[in-house]
Each structure stands twice: as C-alpha cells, then as structure tokens.
Structure 1
C-alpha cells in the first residue's frame, strides 16, 4: 500500500513526517529527491539543458536562477520542466523501497497520476498560521508568504481529494491523529486482503 502525505505550504508536512519517523515510518521526500536528481542524474541534466539551454549547468552545477527564470517565464515552460523532473522522481520513488511519500504538489502538478498511490493524507492548518510559519522559515514578508499560499491549490480542494486529514494547528493532538490514521490504514489493509 502506497501512502502520500500532502498539504499546502506551511501546513507542516515535514513536522508530521518527523513524527512518523519517530514511529519507525520512513517517508520519501519528493522535493529532496528532485534536488538530488537535478545534481546527480546525467539523463535529467541532458534533457533539461536541451530544454532550457546549455548555460543551465556550469561546471556540473545547476544554475538555479536560470531554471527559476525559465519556469516563471511561461506556464508551458514550467510544465515542460515538470514533465522531465516528475517522471524521474516517480521512478526513483518506485525503486526506493519506501511505502510513504511526501509531496507538496501531489495534486497541483498531477504527480498522483505518475505513480500508484492508494491513500492520501493531507496536513492542514489555518492560513494565518501557515503564513506565520512561512515567514519564520523563509525569512520573507507576510505578503510574500501569502502569495505562495495563494499560488497553490486551495486547502479545501486538497481536503476534498484526500482520504484523511491531519489538522496541524497546535490545538489538535498530533499523536492521537496519527494513531487514528495508522488504525485506519491497518483496517484498509485488512479490507484489501479479503
């Protein structure tokens, strides 16, 4: 059974994954994997260089500003980059041995269609709290943080597409919610075996 953890920026996905790690559950981080593949995969580097231009990698180092400018220039360009990176990340996940993955853009980029996912857990938090977390983490203004939140799929839409919600607002007990999640997954596994 493959399980995805998703949620908007600042919702606390990594925090939940840390709690899962304490329970012995390792979660594949799609963002980290993409960064690693951008540094180490000759095939991906070649494809991206053909798409963006030969200046994208200088001395085998990704020129992040060039890639960011290319992506922001045009939504078609952003999709073309996604069409190189996302299949590579999906293949890497499938061969990783992990059953859990964390992806901020599971639905936004349709990553969910690239690898079999059986159960989706979304992490949610009130928007003001998410903005506060982003400001602290990234050292940006609340206005900039709100733009990042607004660029993503709405939290309500993510909830409607998910199987389970963990509320990470500092009020709800995270461990109790994780206990309930693992019990639900166990029940689903038993149902799937019948």
Structure 2
C-alpha cells in the first residue's frame, strides 16, 4: 500500500486538496479528525486532559472546548509539550488502524504535524500544500476568526515553510484559485496511481 503524507502549515489549504483527492476515490486518513476522535468524552486521553487542565477547558456539554485548550497550550510551551506527549501515541495507534483498513489504490494521510510528530515514518512520499506566509496568515485569520498573534504562535509551533519544502517530494502551490489547486491535484493523482501500481508489482515480485 502506497501512503502519501499530505501536509502544510495552518491556512495552507490542506483540506481543499484532500477533498479533491477524495473525489478521485482515494481513502483519506485525517489526523485532525483522529485527534478529535481520541479525545471524545469518556476516552482515556479525554480523562487525562480533564484531570490536567480542569473543567475550564470543557464546554457545557462536557466535550472539550478546543479553542480554550488551544489558547492554553500555545501560550505555554510546556503545556503544549505535555499535551503532545499524551496525544501523539494514541493518535498514531488509531492512524495506523485506519491506514491498514484502506482499500483505495493509494492512501492519503493528511497531517499538519506530519514532520513534527513523527508521523512521517508512516508514509512513503511527502506532498506539501504551500502558500507564502502572508497569505497563510490572512486565510487562517479569516477561517478561524483568530487574531494574527495567535496564528503566528501556531505557526511558530509548526516547522518552517522552508523545512517543509525541503522535505517534500511534491509541492502543491495554493497561492491562486481552486482551479489551479485542482489541476495540480489531478496531475499528482495520476502520478500516485502509477507509483502505487509499481509498488504493487514490486511487492508481488518479492513475495
């Protein structure tokens, strides 16, 4: 199974790119959705977070208030590191389970922290959705209704644009419109289908 890691900074447009791949019938494993699943009410990670941070990071429904939690961890590096130590192992386990269950020609692992979290070890190829930082900040502020300082704090906690580009096998330029984005995804889809077929043939020859 060929696994492509799709990553990019906050506001880069990973979700739009992933949605286009999904339209092609490609199975998507979204690390953000996995992260939400593992902190659902009653899950072990949910219990650990509540015990550590208290009820102030809960909504009235009892679910985590992700915005409140985000403010806490991005204002305090030690708290962010604690949360990552709790979440990364359980996210990895659930991610591996979903990857193993995929039946599409290749699988897309969408992860904003692909390089930082060690999830890069799960993929065979890295695709980066890239935009200049001013556009990244503008889009993230408009989408999340956060102020620029908070977006910059999140960006600081992620690896740099330069690092992502250096690690990438493929780069999608999302500085223009959706048509431009989709054209690049469509081209990469064909490339990945070919790579997946080559990998299958090699596996068959070896085993």
TM-score normalised per structure 1: 0.80
Aligned length: 191
Partner of 2:205: none
User: What is the DSSP-based 3-state SS (H/G/I as helix, E as strand, rest coil) of the residue aligned with 1:14?
Assistant: helix
Deviations 1:160-188 (A, max 9, x none): 11221111111682233123212322332
Structure 2 SS opposite 1:160: helix
- Return 21-30 or 171-180, whichever deviates more: 171-180
Aligned to 1:109: 117
- Could you say if the C-alpha distance between residues 110 and 134 of structure 1 is closer, same or farther in structure 2, counting changes exceeding 3 Å? same
> Per-residue deviation at 1:122?
0.7
User: Structure 1's 128 and 94: CA in aligned 2 closer, same or farther, altered over 3 A?
Assistant: same
Which moved further from structure 2: 167-176 or 88-97? 167-176
Gaps of 5+ in 1: none
Shift of 1:18: 1.7
- Give SS of 1:62's match: coil
- Structure-2 residue corresponding to 1:81: 83
Contact 1:86 1:111 in 2 (8 A): no
The 3 A distance-change label for structure 1 pair 64 and 106 is: same
Shift of 1:142: 4.0
Q: 1:59 to 1:127 in 2, by over 3 A?
A: closer
Larger deviation: 156-165 or 53-62? 53-62
Within-5 A mapping of 1:26-41: 26-41=27-42
Q: State yes or no: 1:176 paired with 2:183.
A: yes
TM-score, normalised by the number of residues in structure 2: 0.76
C-alpha distance in 2 between matches for 1:16 and 1:59: 32
> Per the alignment, do residues 130 and 66 of structure 1 end up closer, same or farther by CA in structure 2, a change over 3 Å counting?
closer
- Residue segments in structure 2 that go unaligned for 5+ positions in a row: 203-207
Name 2:21's counterpart in structure 1.
20
The answer on whether the counterparts of 2:7 and 2:114 sit within 8 Å (CA) in structure 1 is yes
- The CA deviation string for residues 112-153 of structure 1, in whole angstroms up to 9 with x for no partner, is 34xx21121110012222122112112234454344334421
Q: Kindly tell me: are residues 36 and 137 of structure 1, through their superposed partners in 2, closer, same or farther at Cα, counting changes over 3 Å?
A: same
CA contact (8 A) 2:41 2:62 kept: no
Q: CA RMSD in A?
A: 2.8
2:173 matched to which residue of 1? 167
Q: 1:127 aligns with which of 122, 125, 133?
A: 133
